[in-house]
Amino acid sequence: MKRCVLAIVFAVLAPMSLAETSTAAHLDSVTGTARHLGADPPFPVIQVHINALADASGTNARGHVTAVIKTLDVNDRARVICLSVVGNRATVGTEIVKSNDPALVGRGQLWTVVDNGKSGVDRIAGHPITPTPPTVCPPLFFNVPLVSGNYVIHDATR
């Protein structure tokens, strides 16, 4: 009886798992959590969690980015507006939806992320907050090395 139930469960869940894997392979993505030092004095430790997805063409971007700077009392959560992935580089555009500074809600920010794989140190940078969310995610080249953590970028066209 147990074998029969397990066989039925496997028969139902296995195709669902394969479909999810197949769908994920056709998406651009940036995922991970890491810490880096801010590029400007006082060079605070910034922790950034990213979970961003988009179709291979960059459409239907979704997900979130959370940035925390404890020493400056910053805690922002943003929704992903756009995502551009080329190889191991990505630009993530966001709209801040929650912040301990209410004046930031509704504003935008671009993030650049570089995934250097297991043999290198990943890189990231948050670019200046803008009055409105970005409508496109252009290639950005300024970034700083991570202090700890990891980001994984998946380019659906590769």
Q: Does residue 113 contact residue 143 with C-beta atoms inside 8 Å?
A: yes
pTM for the complete prediction?
A: 0.83
Mean pLDDT of all residues in 25-50: 94
Beta bridge partners of 98: 77
Mean pLDDT of all residues in 54-70: 95
Query: For 92-133, how does the pLDDT look when each residue is reduced to its tens digit (9 = 90+)?
Result: 999 999 999 999 999 999 999 999 998 899 999 999 999 999
The mean pLDDT value of the chain amounts to 88
Residue 103 three-state SS: helix
- Nearest to residue 158, comparing CAs of 25, 11, 2, 19? 25
Residue 5 three-state SS: helix
Residue 17 pLDDT class (50, 70, 90 cuts): very low
Question: How far, in Å, are 43, 44, 62, 73, 152 from residue 51 at the CA level?
Answer: 25, 22, 8, 22, 10
